């Protein structure tokens, strides 16, 4: 009998990390590889935030803090929720963790009993189903195909709800599709939830600030105040503030839930890094102009990638509202053959072919629960993106 518990068997390693690792290995072996798998901005953390971390260390902020984070940071987060989302959270209704990932994990640990159902619209961020499984919950996947703009239809949500449903996980703008809900679309989803008071909403707003073409971001507790008492509003500094390695994620929610999440965290990591927390205060309270500057670059890259991919034979690419991903369909390549005579039978095959033939690393849609698609992260240099898209066009052109 194995020494290991059954828990790790329930989940699979992150496929996005697997692609990044494979691309790095090929590169180390001398292959010319362009990696489009990473889910982090290629921009450096802004100088004033790095300075704040340095100053925090100089001032001796290098010791343990409260589990749920320093009060200065929780006040800054409460200010952000009020200013940007019109949401009132008291500092004690806020928890700070080692990234949004730990916030979500704490929430599942604190709420899921075996067999509790978690509704997850697909395509989804790879971690939601696995986290729910680790906590003995049951993921209920609802397909949101490209014809629906990769968004959850109210009638599909209605059909997925059962007496065992505990959470609906929403993620707008989305990883991997970049799709974001308009206020009206979100309201229609919330209207369903109003009729089912036992279902709570976990809204992952990690990409809130990364929206383009004047898109206006909204979040469930804001568009439907009747859901405020059963919504966990999750956010973090990783993406818009280019702080992936600093590990600062946070959430606002009902006090009882937040207290339970703090309890869970107190027996695992305690708190996130004290230095990162102080840098976080400056991130939220300091200048914000760099976000718009970065977004300008992201939007140009999105437009470039969408246009070039739509010129590739067999690829169709939807133009997303936000985040830094596109999620094109490769349906037009399925059933065709590579110059070596290998048949493309799935998005996994297509992705493998791109890496082998042209050294372009992307992630297969099967990893995100909706095929046949693949995900490209455009959080990389414009020159690399242009070259990668040329190679994808060439690879698609070579299929017979």
Ligand X SMILES: Cc1ncc(COP(=O)(O)O)c(C=O)c1O
Interface residues with ligand X (CB under 6 A) are 39, 99-101, 125, 171, 175, 204, 206, 236, 238, 244, 249
Phi and psi at residue 355, to the nearest 5°: -70, -45
DSSP string, 232-273: EEEEESTTTTT-GGG--EEEE--HHHHHHHHHHHHTTT-SS-
Contact 348, 366 (CB under 8 A): yes
Question: What are the tokens at 258?
Answer: 């937040």
Q: How far is the CB of 142 from ligand X (least distance, A)?
A: 17
Using alpha carbons only, give the angle 314, 317, 318 rounded to the nearest 5 degrees.
Answer: 145
Q: How far is the CB of 361 from ligand X (least distance, A)?
A: 17
Q: How far is the CB of 240 from ligand X (least distance, A)?
A: 11
DSSP 343: B
Residues near 129 by Cβ (< 8 Å), separated by ≥ 6? 118, 120, 139, 141, 369
Q: How far is the CB of 38 from ligand X (least distance, A)?
A: 9
Q: Could you give the CA distance from residue 29 to residue 192 in angstroms, rounded to a whole number?
A: 53
Q: How far is the CB of 128 from ligand X (least distance, A)?
A: 8
Nearer to ligand X (CB atom), residue 353 or residue 368: 368
Nearer to ligand X (CB atom), residue 185 or residue 204: 204
Q: Could you give the CA distance from residue 147 to residue 159 in angstroms, rounded to a whole number?
A: 19
Nearer to ligand X (CB atom), residue 221 or residue 344: 221
* Residue facing ligand X at closest CB distance: 99
Nearer to ligand X (CB atom), residue 142 or residue 331: 142
- Cis bond before residue 41 (omega within 30° of 0): no
Nearer to ligand X (CB atom), residue 100 or residue 328: 100
Nearer to ligand X (CB atom), residue 34 or residue 38: 38
Q: Which run of H or E residues covers position 141?
A: strand 138-143
Q: How far is the CB of 334 from ligand X (least distance, A)?
A: 27
């Amino acid at each position: 009998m194995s020494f290991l518990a059954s828990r790790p068997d329930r989940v699979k390693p992150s496929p996005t990390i697997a692609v990044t690792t494979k691309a790095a290995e090929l590169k180390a072996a001398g292959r010319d590889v362009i990696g489009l798998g990473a889910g982090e901005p290629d921009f450096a953390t802004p100088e004033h935030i790095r300075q704040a971390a340095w100053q925090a260390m100089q001032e001796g902020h290098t010791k343990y803090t409260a589990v749920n984070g320093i009060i200065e940071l929780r006040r800054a987060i409460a200010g952000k929720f009020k200013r940007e989302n019109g949401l009132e959270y008291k500092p004690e209704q806020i928890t700070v963790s080692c990234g949004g990932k730990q916030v979500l994990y704490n929430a599942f640990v604190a709420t899921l009993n075996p067999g509790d159902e978690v509704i997850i619209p697909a395509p989804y961020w790879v971690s939601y189903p696995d986290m729910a499984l680790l906590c003995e919950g049951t993921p209920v996947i609802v397909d949101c195909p490209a014809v629906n703009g990769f968004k959850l239809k109210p009638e599909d949500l209605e059909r997925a709800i059962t007496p065992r449903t505990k959470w609906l996980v929403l993620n707008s703008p989305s990883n991997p599709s970049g799709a974001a809900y308009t206020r009206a679309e979100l309201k229609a989803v919330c209207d369903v939830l109003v009729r089912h008071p036992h279902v709570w909403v976990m809204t992952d707003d990690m990409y809130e600030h990364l929206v383009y073409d004047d898109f206006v971001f909204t979040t469930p507790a804001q568009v439907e105040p009747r859901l405020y008492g059963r919504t966990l509003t999750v956010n973090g500094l990783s993406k818009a503030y280019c702080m992936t390695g600093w590990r600062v994620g946070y959430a606002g929610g009902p006090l009882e839930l937040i207290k339970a999440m703090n309890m869970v965290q107190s027996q695992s990591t305690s708190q996130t890094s004290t230095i990162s927390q102080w840098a976080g205060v400056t991130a939220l309270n300091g200048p914000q102009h760099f976000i718009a500057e970065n977004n300008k670059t992201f939007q140009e890259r999105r437009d470039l990638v969408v246009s070039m991919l739509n010129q590739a034979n067999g690829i169709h690419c939807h133009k997303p509202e936000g985040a830094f991903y596109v999620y094109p369909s490769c349906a037009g390549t399925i059933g065709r053959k590579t110059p070596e005579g290998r048949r493309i039978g799935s998005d996994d095959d297509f992705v493998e072919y791109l890496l082998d033939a042209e050294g372009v690393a992307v992630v297969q849609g099967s990893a995100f629960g909706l095929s046949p698609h693949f995900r490209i992260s455009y959080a990389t240099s414009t020159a690399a993106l242009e070259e990668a898209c040329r190679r994808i066009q060439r690879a698609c052109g070579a299929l017979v």
